[in-house]
Amino acid sequence: MKSINKQPVLVSGASMAGLSAAFWLNKAGYKVTVIEMAKEPRIHGAAVDLRGETIKTVKRMGIFEQLRANRLNVEKMEFKNSDDVSEGVVILNNGNLESLQDDLEIERETFVYTMMNLLKDDIEFIFNDSISALKEAPHEIIVILKNGPQRSFQLVFGCDGMHSNVRRIWFGEEKNYTYFLGAYFSITVLNKLLIPENMMQMYNVPCKGVVLNAYRNKTDVIFSFLSDEEIDYDYRDESQQKKIIHDQFAGEGWRTEELLQEVFLCKNFYFDKFCQVKMPSWTKGRVALIGDAGYCASPAAGMGATLSVEGAAVVVAALQKHKGDFEKAFREYNETFLPFVKEVQDMAKNNIKENFIPKTEADIRRRNAMTEVF
Ligand SMILES: Cc1cc2nc3c(=O)[nH]c(=O)nc-3n(C[C@H](O)[C@H](O)[C@H](O)COP(=O)(O)OP(=O)(O)OC[C@H]3O[C@@H](n4cnc5c(N)ncnc54)[C@H](O)[C@@H]3O)c2cc1C
């Protein structure tokens, strides 16, 4: 019988999926190393949501109370017209946080700091490094690091996000697994409030949307637009990406001109396509992908963190159930987690055109008329 006891395993990426995987692997008895490309834990980016069964998972991890104490509290979402008049309002939690039993919205830093504190004494963290090659041998997997020596592990977990390095090295090029959803977005997090705190506002013209999301003295400014074709751009060239946003939105109504100025001046800017990762298997040999690396559903899902945290729990539970027999465990992970991934990915695809970026004026008016109270 195989044993988990102190087998060395490597996790690539120290974010939602990676820190969750590290937690469960450590608890199961593996000797865990986490390698992260950034110089320090990455805490920036849009807020994330933990929902449904994953609330039970974070309770089992013992971090629920700490996350809940730092939860965000978006109270209201307004759909604006070009005169800044609200055409529709959704009250998100009726002002009652306790009513939200199965939904926890938190800043990424809340999760990352909570997990780093929990794991720092038990787990080896390597920052500012990355895997450059993997070689599978009969009883181990050899990992060649960019800045460090060659090392040997029993298993490798690719938790390195949408543009996963482990996926590219071990499973093949990104384009083989990514599916363009016909839209692009940019997000800029400003360190000031442009609208009252705990509020979201959305403005649309056909095929384009602008969202403001205000919390804790910050405002996320999100531009998004539909595009039938993929746009050819340099992912390292921020000014080129800002120009794409500017060209799409210049001359549009509401507060667009002011927001374009803010985004132009701000260093904190992220641009990408809405796309999903779909793979025939998230595992190959001794390597498994977790989170966006294996099954990114796109920001339109609002479920990326849930998938990442849950996926980590599911794969390690399978390893424990099969007493470290990774072949059986990885098969079970692929089979049992797929229905949930499919459900979330389908929902995200519909969300883009129905809710975030309606195609016509009529669709926008219909969406704005929605005043459902959750
Ligand atoms: C604009 C936007 C809005 C979003 N809104 C929401 C939302 O409302 N709710 C929600 O739940 N989710 C949301 N998401 C999605 C969510 O952020 C992701 O699904 C989630 O962060 C995925 O976690 P992950 O750990 O798989 O990947 P990531 O969080 O992307 O983390 C990957 C980690 O791997 C590291 N890494 C990358 N390359 C390497 C390498 N070569 N070697 C080592 N480390 C590496 C990165 O530095 C990072 O720390 C949004 C995403 C975006 C972009």
Beta strands in the chain (DSSP E): 8-12, 31-36, 48-51, 76-80, 86-91, 103-106, 124-127, 131-137, 140-145, 151-153, 155-158, 178-190, 199-205, 208-215, 218-226, 270-277, 283-284, 287-289
Structure tokens given for 193: 């409030």
- Is the same domain home to 62 and 194? no
49 lines ligand 1 (CB under 6 A): yes
- Is the same domain home to 172 and 186? no
43 lines ligand 1 (CB under 6 A): no
Tell me if 86 is assigned to some domain.
no
- Taking CA atoms only, the protein residue closest to ligand 1 atom 28 is 161
Tell me if 91 is assigned to some domain.
no
- Is the same domain home to 194 and 252? yes
First-to-final CA distance of the chain? 51
3-class DSSP state for residue 122?
coil
Q: What is the CATH number of the domain that holds 21?
A: 3.50.50.60
37 lines ligand 1 (CB under 6 A): yes
- Is the same domain home to 135 and 211? no
Cα–chain center distance at 315: 18
Ligand 1 geometric centre to CA of 161 (Å): 5
Determine how β-strand 131-137 pairs with β-strand 76-80: unpaired
- Taking CA atoms only, the protein residue closest to ligand 1 atom 36 is 160
Q: How many domains in the chain? A: 2
From residue 324, give the alpha-carbon distance in Å to each of 245, 286, 327, 329: 48, 11, 9, 8
Tell me if 83 is assigned to some domain.
no
State the pLDDT at residue 102.
80
15 lines ligand 1 (CB under 6 A): yes
Sheet with 199-205: list strands edge to edge: 86-91, 76-80, 199-205, 208-215, 218-226, 178-190, 270-277
Tell me if 87 is assigned to some domain.
no
Burial (Cβ within 10 Å: 0-12, 13-18, ≥19) of residue 216 = middle
Residue type present at position 348: A
- Is the same domain home to 130 and 64? yes
How much is the mean pLDDT over the chain? Answer: 94
Residue type present at position 10: L
Ligand 1 geometric centre to CA of 363 (Å): 31
State the pLDDT at residue 96.
57
* Domain assignment of residue 187, given as a range: 181-274+355-368
130 lines ligand 1 (CB under 6 A): yes
Q: Which residues of the chain have pLDDT under 50?
A: 1, 373-374
State the pLDDT at residue 141.
98
- Is the same domain home to 106 and 236? no
List beta partners, residue 91.
76
Q: How far apart (Å, rounded) are the C-alpha atoms in residues 146 and 241?
A: 29
16 lines ligand 1 (CB under 6 A): yes
- Is the same domain home to 139 and 61? yes
Q: How far apart (Å, rounded) are the C-alpha atoms in residues 246 and 251?
A: 9
Structure-token match 């195989």, residue found:
2
Tell me if 3 is assigned to some domain.
no
- Is the same domain home to 207 and 269? yes
